[in-house]
Structure formats: structure tokens, C-alpha cells
Structure 1
Amino acid sequence: MLLALAGHAAAGVMTRAGIQKALPPPLTVGERDAQLPVWPIFKQDATTTVLAGYVFESIDFAPIPGFSGTPFNLLVALDPKGTFLEVRVLSHHEPVFLEGLGEGPLFRFADQYRGLSLQQNIKIGSNANRGEQSSSANVYIDGVAKATASVRILNQSLLSSALRVARARLGFAAGQDPDRVARVRQDTYSPMNWEALLKAGLVSHVRITQGMVDKAFDGSGVEQPAAGHENDTFSDVYIAWLSAPPVGRNLMSDAGWKHLLGRIDEGDHAFLVIASGPYTFVGDRFVRGAVPDRLTLKQNELPLELRDLDLDEPLALPASLRGADAKVFRVIGPAGLDPTHALDFALRVTREKGIVYPERIARSFALRYTLPAEQVTMPASDDKGWQGIWRARAWELAVLAAALAWLTVVLARPKWIVATPARLARFRTGYLVFTLVFIGWFAQGQLSIVNITAVVQAVASGRDLGFLLYDPMTVVLWAFVALTLLVWGRGTFCGWLCPFGALQELLAQAARFAGVRRIRLHRELDAKLKRVKYGVLAVIVGLAVMSPAWSDRAVEVEPFKTAITLGFVRSWPFVAWAAGWLLAGAFVYKGFCRYLCPLGAGLGLLGRVRLLRWIPRRSECGTPCQTCRHRCEYQAIRPTGTIVYEECFQCLDCVAIHDSAQRCAPLIAKERDRVIPIRPLPVAAGSRT
């Protein structure tokens, strides 16, 4: 289910008028693009109107479902260089921001993107990360505590949609994130002369002859120049990846190499282009520091900008090339140039046809360059997707996996734990503290009915379920719960792994220690109240399909978010609701879990597929023995002795009683009925009989 894919059913909602209100003067919004759901925005520059960028909605390009199953929709404005002019949240259904933290932290998080650029590697961090050098390509923005998964999905939605627009309208690479592109290795330097560089493929050479050019213009009507020999050189071009250490360090002095590295940013590339002959890439109108008009570069059919670095460092070139035109051009990192793919340079030759109003006709001559594979390293990771989140939380997942493995062993082979009441009590209390503190408050692994409604809403609207992968703790816990539902039923989660349930039980233990007497409801009233949670579940799931907005409100019946996710940092009605149920649990044992919890109801229904009746029973259980039923705090044992597994919390108390010769009535009766043979005492030596 986690890997299922479905078509997107999302679309933008903004109109031109609405966008104009969001982007006040001096910006003006043009007509929507006919091919792409973007609007150009313009600004007045003296007497001319210039393009200021593009504005779009993220949901049109990257409808990544949020934690609730519904995608964020962001209004995003990019300038021509990929800088964010505006990032605004138009809509969302994130539970933690709707009634939890409030929307203020979400809006402040989005505001941080304004002024940042796709040329930067934007990472979610904290102020502690901001000791980076000002020249670094990395920029850190503050996350939101208690909402890590939600803000990461927003970040992914923003960057994915912005890169798609940048690729299509700003000339960036084909949607490639700078972190996902291969890199030129920096550890491959070895001394090499010019001939060795040519032989190794680090320098590419193309010779264009006069005959090749004349043939290209045949049939164009262009008047050919004075005839020369077709084998004469028209242009002799060499291309080298100057920022690759084997090239740059061999062709430049140490000072020149350091100067080059100081002129380019991390992820940028520098190329040396040399041309000799009657025609070179340096035309009459070439300006230092500008983009050449005769030389172009494409990769995978995507144009990439070459810009002169205006570098005059001496180069170790052969004598035949020392008088040739030589320039160093830069391609910026965010353009997405991938060193593993071929580069298609082209030398553009232009000729004129006609005299009065001459027509310019151009032909391009391919100059392909491929960096040898041994000079390239693939990216080690992609920390912007869900894979990076899993790697970042590896140690937390390892702790959780170890705890789940230990719990599995205990539940599968409980005899050692239940051997004495004290041992079971110590183990259970210790594990509940771990569940509350580590799984709940620290790792934010509280499963919720929201997880179920999110899946229902995603399936109903035809969205994929990949959003689940952004919360690895939840995924692992749900996987474990799914397996244990098949084996033991609902009790494994509700009795051992629910942080709110653990909090209720620990407070109930404290109340009993303080002398508070518990109220045990009559079994008929208890049975009726237990049906309420199934009605609550039905209402919430129905609203998830018919009215997601009301579903977002209905799930607040769970106090999990207030007590666990937000640590009671919330408005008073929600705190009062959660505190009220915790207080009630001191008198009616785990009342919320037993009578109102919609997640418990869902697990109870799913748990009906369990494979085992794992709690041992005797023929005397229920007739006549009622010990386990009277001791069961959850009232999950019928008078007949039958276990109601849908209401069992797997506390192991009845298992401990069943195995105890001091607590199990049938075992005690058997011990009393056992005939003890009378044997004479042994006679001591020297005594009288």
C-alpha cells in the first residue's frame, strides 16, 4: 500500500486577479502561459516593462500529500535567476497546524524562503547551523518543533515545483536538484602533459574544415566565399573541463588553480575553450564576462548558459596553440549540468543572404565532450526526499527496532516475565515509561486515527501514499502493529506501544499508590459503553470521505496530539479535554481507550483477523473460577471465561494468574486435593524406638 501510485487529482485555484492582489505594484501579472500553469510577472524599468519572473501554484507541479493526506498548495513567485520573490501557503490540512500549534508557525516557516534561491542548497536546520561560510551554497532555515514531517513535505513540495518551473522557463536543468547530480572527482590528479590529456579524453578536439561549412550552407542561397581548398581548416577547436583537477592543475600554475577555484562556487563548472583558424568562437561583438554569441552548450537537449569568467591566468599550452583564442567559461551549479552525460557544445556560423535587407542564416557545428567516467563520482545521498529523513533518524529507528524485538520475545514467550507479579510489574512499568518518553514525547511516534483518515482521503481522491514515508517512526510502528494484529490482535499496540495509553496507565498506577479507589462499572454498562468508540470511528471515517474539513475537526476527539505531540502546549479547551480524560483514568481504568478511542476501535476491528487464541484457558475458567475476570482491569473476560480479544490490552495479568500455583484457583484446588503419603521419620543412630 505504501508503494501504490495513483493519478493526481489536484489543481490550482488562483486566478489572475487573485494573484495580482497577492503581488501588489510595482509588479503586474500577465496572462497565464498557454503551455504551462504559470503566470509571467512584470515590472516597470524606466520606460520599458521587463520580465520579473513567474508565479505559480505548487499543487500544479508537485501535489505531494501532506501528513493528513492532502497536498500543500503554495503560491510561489520566482525571479529569472531562481530567487524566491514570494512563498505563501494558500491551503493545507496539516492537523498539527490546524488546531495544534496554530497556523502562525507554518506561515513564518514559509516566509523564510523569500530572498533565497534555487542556486542554494536549502536545508531545514536551526541557528546552530548558520556558522557556514557566506560563500557556501548551503543555506539553513529554521524548522518547526513538533511538526518535522509536515515542514519537510512543504519543503519538498516547494523545491520540486520550483525546479520544474525553473527548468521549463528559466533554463535550469531538467528538474534536477543540485544534490542529485553527479560530481567531478577532486582526488584524481596526476602529472600529465597536453598530449596525455588528449589521449586520456580530458581534452576534446574537433577540426571543422572549409568543405564541411560549405556543404552545410548548400541550398540556402547564401553566397559562398571565394573558393578555397575543402580540406583547409575553418576552425580548430579544443575543449577541456578546466575545473577537473587533472586538467586545471596540469594546465595552470598553483596560484592560477587556486584563483580559478576562488572564482567559482561549489557545484559550478569551468571549461576551457581554445580555437584557432579563420573562424573562432570570439566574434567582433564579444564582450569579456558576457555570454558568447557563437558558442552554445546543451545537455540532454536543455540549453545551459556559458558565461566568460574573464580569466587571464597563463596556461601551459603547446606552441601551436599559444596564439589561439582561449577563454574560460563557467556553468553555474544550479543549471544542473551532470558530468556523467555528454556535453553538446556547438559553434554557430552565420552568413548573410541578400544585399539591401540581408537575411542572416546560421548553421551550427557539433563539438561533443564527454568527461571520462573515472573522473566522476555519483551523489552519496538525497537528503531532500524521504530517504534522507530515514537516514537522519537511523539511530532512533535502531532503538525502536531493538525495543520492538524485545517486546516480541516477551509476548511470544512470557513465562519468565510472568513468573512473579513483581517481575511482570517492573517490566511493564519500565516499558510503558519507554513508550511514553521515547516513542511519544521524543520520537513523536504516536499513532493516531489521523493516519487512517489520511489514507482514506488519499485513496478517495486518487493520490499516492508516498507521504507516509516522511514519518519513519510511524511507518515502522504501523508495520509492527499490522504484523501483531495478525498474531495477537489489538492488545500489542493499545497495551504496550500507545504513548497516551502509557500515560493513562502510569497516572492510574500513581493514583492507586496514593490511595484513590477505582470505579468498576457493571459489566452490562461497560459493554454498552465500549460500543461508543465504533460509532465515533464510523463518523470520522465517513467525514474523511465526504468532508475533509469536518474530518480535521472530528479527529480532535483524540487527545493524543495535545498530550503527546504538543506536550500540552495548546489552547485551554484542548488541554482541558486531554487532562479530563487523564483524570477520569484515575477512577475508571483507561476509560478513553476502552470507551471512546476511534483508533482502538479500528484496531479492534482489524484484530479480528488474528490467527491465535494465545491466552491459555482451562476447563474451570468461568465455571466455576472467576479469578481472572475479577482481576481484569479492562473487563475483557466474560463470565463464561471467554477472552474478548477485541477489548484485550495484552497486559499478561491473566497469563500470570493462569501459571501461578499461588493465584490460580484450579491449581490451588488440585494442590489441596493431592494425597500426601505418610512415611515414618528416619531413625537416628543410637536412639530408642
Structure 2
Amino acid sequence: MRILFKLVFTMLALLMTAAPAPALAGVMTHDELVRRFPAPLIVGQKDAELAAWPLFKQNATATELVGYVFESADLAPIPGFSGVPPNMLVTIDTKGGFLDVVMLSQHEPVFLDGLGEGPLLQFVKQYQGLSLKQSISIETNTKRARHPDAAHAYIDGVSKATASVRIINQSVLAAALKVARKKLGFAAGRDPDMIARVRQDVFDSRSTEQLLADGLVAHLRVSNRDVEKLFAGSPGAGLDAQALQRPDEVFIDLYLAYASVPSVGRNVLTARGWTKLKGRLDDGDHAMLVMSTGRHSIIGEEFVRGSVSDRLLLKQDGLPIDMRDLDLELALADSLHLPDASVTALRIISQAGLDPGSPMEFSLPITRSKGIVYPERFTRELKIAYRLPARFYLAGEGNNKSWQGVWGSRRDELLVLGVALAVLALALAMQRRLSANGRRFAWFRAGFLAFTVGFVGYYAQGQLSIVNLTGVAQALLAGRGLEFLLFDPMTVVLWLFVALSLLLWGRGTFCGWLCPFGALQELTGKLAQWLHIPQLKLRGVTDARLKILKYVLLALIMASTLFQTELTDKLVELEPFKTAITLNFVRSWPYVAYAVGLLLASSFVYKFFCRYLCPFGAALALLGRVRLLDWIPRRSECGTPCQTCRHRCDYQAIKPDGKVVYEECFQCLDCVVIYESDEKCAPLMLELKRSRTIPIMPVQRSS
């Protein structure tokens, strides 16, 4: 067992302290770029803030900026099917036009083992001459190829590899948009790293009428007559026979909702639908929900699920932003009264740079065709303006990179947490005084555990988790920074306190006092004892063997970060924290059944999950081995012969010889209460009994 401890601890230490690896970083050097861009072009020095090189051209006595060259993996590392982002060398001019796109590396199985790289190299060549100001779509049906214009561009996809080329397209566009926004003055020169962030802590229950009145849901209702007016006086007029026959019929009745905003998504979707949607979004992603009836739909007959619809476009600051179908079946809330509406969920990845604090312009292109062999196309657009109200997002300010705004918005919660942590630290520092009165201590502990469940867990969402460790490990291994941690201030403050408590007391402070799910388990166990539900206490050997299991699970989860993100995402579900605390049991039934099952198990075996299965607890136990204090008071009689504390320890963390196993101690202080009690501690009771004995002295008689 000692060898296993050392192996797991070593693995964890290596993962947590590893230097950033260049696995997903760019590979270009200045010398290599000079070779690729010979005179008269001049390659400038790499930008200190943005991984891009300026390109210059000598024109007589002046040096003119030609554009920028950059690697997509540096700016938009979007994983492909192998889990590794493709990497393209992209060159754009000063107006946002593509000068060239070259494939540097890719690990897509279809292009490695199937089609070969030839079709892929031809695909990326098509970007040359296109512009970021155009909505670039991948054309999957070459028989109906369309001609580009100032607002639209079409490139041929690769048969049997549509998903892979869509990932490549997103990578190219997201990286180029980031450079264009920061270096070319696109989006009014706004720094793409300082965009607003949707507030996940704000939720208001609203009716459909309130959602519409507040602008949280946009509505567009258009008749056939309205559409015909759009084409009036053009060659496209009169080409829609159905519109001419039934002019008052609804062409489209559309509701558009910014569904990843809690006050929108939770009101327009059922609880299960909201949970399903959130489960498909990564951190920083956005989701738009389109609900419509009528003869026109944003999903055409030839639409491929999972792709980008060309019937609903989004622009912000004049730049197109891709919205990709999530291929989700979502149930609408009954309050919407849209039983016959088609529902489509569209995802906008975080790398696209959508700013929820800026106006958005949605458009529905309506296209009519004239002719059969080589049809002439005529397009008009229906516009929908959308602006998210300010109270639902945190604006990026100055050079704050936006995370400071998150801390400011949660000032009151952080103050409450700070006071609670100060009280806990004082109580633990004065544990013997607190434990002197067993009844008073029991009320204090029960009250603090209720605070942990209610405030830290459900209200402030401060549940620390193995996901915190895997997220750090994956970021370091991928060569990314750890700034993402700052967007969750509750977690940062808790981690700082836990780090200090690990140094002083070990694992027990978090696991015994500050873990919401652990507190929920303990309260469940205490309730079971109060109801006289039989409690199972495992044999010492069985208990010790089962406690090793959580270290094995920890090793598996942390090792998985070296291989596949998808595997890690599955393994971390061994923790029920997300189901029970983050999502408040609003999740698909297998997850709920698992979490509830663990709580039921703790009714019979005290804190079953914490003691035997919790990988995060295992990590804290390993890190807690550096503690400075053996803080539990002991007497010489503890263990020899007194066994009171050992038998009353629900965690079975005291050995027969009286020694405390701090890695398995949850700092419940029950043994300290016994130590201070002259009614429970046998050595103290014996000592007091001896002190109260009146010695028998012989009576001296006077002579």
C-alpha cells in the first residue's frame, strides 16, 4: 500500500507541476517564415500579445503593411476527431481578405488512412481570394453550386469528410477573426479577449410576454405578401406561385432566443431540455434557439444535421459568425404555447469571439430562382436585431480581460464566504475550547454543514472537484495558461483556503467541513442514525482495502489526461458532484440514480463515497501528507489500553494502537470531544476518580 501511495503521489505531482508542453502550440519560426515569404516581402517580429507576424512590403522609400500571418493552432485550437487540433498557416491582408491558407499538420483519420491528404490540400486552397466579411459556407451539393457575392462565399467540401472540413473551416475563421479584430480594426478595434461574458448566476422566472417585452426573445412574423413586397420591382417578383395564391398565409413565424443565458434557456425549455443543452456546450460557448412555424424553415430539405444553416446568418460588427446545428431534440416549456413549432439549437463556439454585450444582427436570406439549366438566383434578406439586456452579462473593461468584473459582481457572496472561512479557521484553531461542550459543538457542526450545502454548494456553486485538477493538468499539457481559473472566484478562494488547511491540518478541513456533497452525505448519515437505520461497519481489513480504491480511480483519471479529453470527461463522472450539486439532480435518470444511490449507501455505510470512491478526496489526502501538525490530542493510554475513540470513529481512521491515520481523517472532531469529556474519555474519567478518592489515614490518638 505504501508503494501505491508513492506511485500515485509521484504521478499527481508530475502532472500538476509539469512545464507547459508545446503539443498544441505553433511550430513556425521567424527564419522559416522568411523562407516562405521571400523578398519583396518582409516578415516582422512576432507580436508579444497575439501569436501573429506582420508582413511588410518595401514600396520605394516606404514600408507598407501587407497583412498578418499566423497559425490556427495558436489562436483557435479546435480539436479534431483525433482530439488534436489541425494547424494551418493563414495569411490575411489588411482588409480581412485571405491571401493564403496552407495545411501544416492534421491528424484527421479520414485524411490519414482513407482519402489521403490530397483532397484536404485542395480544400484549403479555396480560401485564397475570399474575405472575412463574407459568410463562408461549405457547399455540399456541387450540382447546385452558387456564385459568391460581397456578402456570401461558397467553397466545395470533401465527400466523406464533411465533419473534418467543417472543423478546419471553423479553425481558420476563428483564428482569422481574432487577428482581424485585434490588429485590423474590425469590431471597432475591440480587444477580442475583453468581450463580455454571460452571467450564469442570474435567473429570473419570466412569462413568454415578459421575455418578448424585455427583448430576451426576438419575434418575427412574415406573411407571403410581405415577402413578395421584398422582391417587388425586381426580376424575382412573381416567381413564388404559392405566395401569389395565398398572400395572407404565414411565410414564417419565428422566435429567436439566446438560450445559453439562464434567464432565457430555463424559461423557454423544460428542465430536462435545459440540462441537455448545457451538457453540449463547452465553457464560453453560446447557443441560439430557433422556434418557428410556417412554410419556410431555417432547415432546408437538403440540410445536413450538424452543419451550418445558410437560411439563418449572424453578423456582429459587420463580421459573420458561424452557428452550427447541435442536432438536439429539445422540449419547449408549456408556457410558450408553441406545440407545433420546429425547434433548432445552434451552437457558437467560444473561439468565434461572439460578444454578448454587443448588438447582433440576424438575417434570413430568401432566395428565388429563375430558369432550369443554369438558374438565375435573386436573394432578399429579412433582418432581426438582437441586444441582450445589460444585467445579463458582465462587460469587459479596460485591460481587465473581463475576469475582474466577475469578481466584482460576486463581491457579496465572496464576503459571506470569507466570513464563514474566518469563523471556521478560528474554530479549528481553538478546537479544544469548541469541543469542551459536546452539545454546543454538535449544533455548531450541524449548522456549518447546512451552510456548506445551502450556500457554498447550491447557491454559490463552490463545489471543488477532480475536474479542477484535470482542467489544470490538461491546460498545462496543452501549453495553455491558467487564467480560466480566475473566472470562478468562489473556487479560487476555496482553493486558497484549502491549500492553507492542507499545510496545517491535512485533508480533513475540506472533506469534513467545506465539501457540499460530503456535507450532504454526512447529514444523510446522521438522519439515518436518528431514524435508527442499521449501520454497517466494515471489518478493518476490508475497510483498508476499499480505501485504496479511490487512489486507483485518481490515478486512472489523471493518467487519462495524457491521452484523450473525451475519456477524461467520462471518467470524471465517477464524481456525483455535478449531478447532485451543480445541476441540483436535474439530469438524465442514470446520473440521478447514481448520485441518489450513493446518498442511500451513506445511510448504511457512513460517508461511503467519500471514504472509498472519491478521487478528489484521494488527491487531497496525498497532498495533505505535507501537513505540519498532528493536531488531534492524544494521551498515553490512547490505544493501550483505551479503544473508545477508535470504536466511535465513524471513518475508521484510528488504528488499534491509537495512532490517527490523518489521510483518512475528516476532522469531525468527535474524538476531540471525547478527549475533553470527563463522561466519555476513560483515561480522564479514571484520572478524575483517583483525584477525588479520599485516602484512609490512621487515627492518631492523643496520649
Percent identity reads 48
- Structure-2 separation of matches of 1:36 and 1:5: 35
Q: 1:485 is matched with which residue?
A: 502
C-alpha change, 1:103 and 1:626, in structure 2 (3 Å) is: same
After TM superposition, the score normalised by the length of structure 1 is 0.51
User: Would you say 1:655 and 2:672 are equivalent positions?
Assistant: yes
User: 3-state DSSP class of the match of 2:149?
Assistant: strand
- Structure-2 separation of matches of 1:430 and 1:499: 13
- Structure-1 separation of matches of 2:174 and 2:530: 54
- Structure-2 separation of matches of 1:658 and 1:34: 80
Q: Per-residue displacement from partner, 1:629-654 (whole Å, max 9, x unpaired)?
A: 01111000000000000000000111
Q: 1:578 is matched with which residue?
A: 595
Q: 1:512 is matched with which residue?
A: 529
Q: 2:317 is matched with which residue?
A: 118
User: Would you say 1:50 and 2:150 are equivalent positions?
Assistant: yes
C-alpha change, 1:178 and 1:487, in structure 2 (3 Å) is: same
1:106 CA drift (Å)? 9.1
C-alpha change, 1:429 and 1:118, in structure 2 (3 Å) is: farther
User: Would you say 1:599 and 2:585 are equivalent positions?
Assistant: no
- For the 8 Å contact 1:29–1:41, the answer to whether it is kept is no
Q: Per-residue displacement from partner, 1:174-229 (whole Å, max 9, x unpaired)?
A: xxx999xxxxxxxxxxxxxxxxxxxxxxxxxxxxxxxxxxxxxxxxxxxxxxxxxx
The counterpart of 1:31, out of the listed 120, 126, 144, is 126
C-alpha change, 1:495 and 1:88, in structure 2 (3 Å) is: closer
C-alpha change, 1:565 and 1:477, in structure 2 (3 Å) is: same
- For the 8 Å contact 2:283–2:350, the answer to whether it is kept is no
Q: 2:632 is matched with which residue?
A: 615
- Structure-1 separation of matches of 2:553 and 2:283: 30
1:154 CA drift (Å)? 7.8
Q: Gaps (5+ residues) in structure 2? A: 1-15, 26-72, 81-85, 89-100, 109-122, 155-165, 189-257, 261-272, 290-311, 322-346, 360-395, 698-703
User: Would you say 1:460 and 2:560 are equivalent positions?
Assistant: no
- Structure-2 separation of matches of 1:47 and 1:34: 14
The counterpart of 2:455, out of the listed 438, 442, 460, is 438
Q: 1:191 is matched with which residue?
A: none
- For the 8 Å contact 2:437–2:673, the answer to whether it is kept is yes
User: Would you say 1:640 and 2:650 are equivalent positions?
Assistant: no
User: 3-state DSSP class of the match of 1:111?
Assistant: strand
Q: Per-residue displacement from partner, 1:93-126 (whole Å, max 9, x unpaired)?
A: xxx9998943289999432796452389x9xxxx
Q: 2:402 is matched with which residue?
A: 385
- Structure-2 separation of matches of 1:458 and 1:107: 15
C-alpha change, 1:108 and 1:62, in structure 2 (3 Å) is: closer
- For the 8 Å contact 2:625–2:663, the answer to whether it is kept is yes
Which residue type is aligned with residue 524 of structure 1?
V
- For the 8 Å contact 1:616–1:658, the answer to whether it is kept is yes
- For the 8 Å contact 1:383–1:389, the answer to whether it is kept is no
1:41 CA drift (Å)? 3.6
User: Would you say 1:538 and 2:638 are equivalent positions?
Assistant: no
1:32 CA drift (Å)? 2.3
1:486 CA drift (Å)? 0.6
C-alpha change, 1:98 and 1:540, in structure 2 (3 Å) is: farther
Superposition map of 1:54-65 within 5 A: none
C-alpha change, 1:536 and 1:57, in structure 2 (3 Å) is: same
1:483 CA drift (Å)? 1.1
1:573 CA drift (Å)? 0.8
C-alpha change, 1:33 and 1:476, in structure 2 (3 Å) is: farther
- For the 8 Å contact 1:445–1:474, the answer to whether it is kept is yes
Which residue type is aligned with residue 118 of structure 1?
D
C-alpha change, 1:653 and 1:392, in structure 2 (3 Å) is: same
- Structure-1 separation of matches of 2:565 and 2:674: 47
The counterpart of 1:102, out of the listed 279, 301, 321, is 279
- Structure-2 separation of matches of 1:6 and 1:467: 18
1:388 CA drift (Å)? 1.1
- Structure-2 separation of matches of 1:649 and 1:154: 43
- The alignment of Structure 1 onto Structure 2 pairs a total of residues equal to 405
1:514 CA drift (Å)? 1.3
User: Would you say 1:568 and 2:663 are equivalent positions?
Assistant: no
Q: 1:400 is matched with which residue?
A: 417
Superposition map of 1:192-207 within 5 A: none
Superposition map of 1:146-161 within 5 A: 157-159=351-353
- For the 8 Å contact 1:29–1:39, the answer to whether it is kept is no
The counterpart of 2:464, out of the listed 439, 447, 460, is 447
C-alpha change, 1:632 and 1:111, in structure 2 (3 Å) is: same
User: 3-state DSSP class of the match of 1:568?
Assistant: coil
Q: CA RMSD in A?
A: 4.7
- Structure-2 separation of matches of 1:468 and 1:51: 39
Superposition map of 1:489-504 within 5 A: 489-504=506-521
Which residue type is aligned with residue 316 of structure 2?
S
Which residue type is aligned with residue 607 of structure 1?
G
- For the 8 Å contact 1:439–1:446, the answer to whether it is kept is yes
The counterpart of 2:686, out of the listed 662, 665, 669, is 669
- Structure-2 separation of matches of 1:653 and 1:421: 9
Q: Per-residue displacement from partner, 1:302-344 (whole Å, max 9, x unpaired)?
A: xxxxxxxxxxxxxxxxxxxxxxxxxxxxxxxxxxxxxxxxxxx
Superposition map of 1:52-91 within 5 A: 52=152
User: 3-state DSSP class of the match of 2:150?
Assistant: strand
Moved more, 669-678 or 570-579: 669-678
- Structure-1 separation of matches of 2:658 and 2:514: 27
Q: 1:192 is matched with which residue?
A: none
Q: Gaps (5+ residues) in structure 1? A: 19-27, 64-72, 90-95, 123-152, 164-176, 180-264, 266-378, 681-689
C-alpha change, 1:407 and 1:62, in structure 2 (3 Å) is: farther
User: Would you say 1:476 and 2:653 are equivalent positions?
Assistant: no
C-alpha change, 1:414 and 1:62, in structure 2 (3 Å) is: farther
- For the 8 Å contact 2:275–2:586, the answer to whether it is kept is no
- Structure-2 separation of matches of 1:100 and 1:435: 28
C-alpha change, 1:99 and 1:549, in structure 2 (3 Å) is: farther
1:476 CA drift (Å)? 1.1
Q: Per-residue displacement from partner, 1:127-179 (whole Å, max 9, x unpaired)?
A: xxxxxxxxxxxxxxxxxxxxxxxxxx9886443xx79xxxxxxxxxxxxx999
C-alpha change, 1:154 and 1:626, in structure 2 (3 Å) is: farther
1:425 CA drift (Å)? 0.8
- Structure-1 separation of matches of 2:494 and 2:582: 16
1:466 CA drift (Å)? 1.1
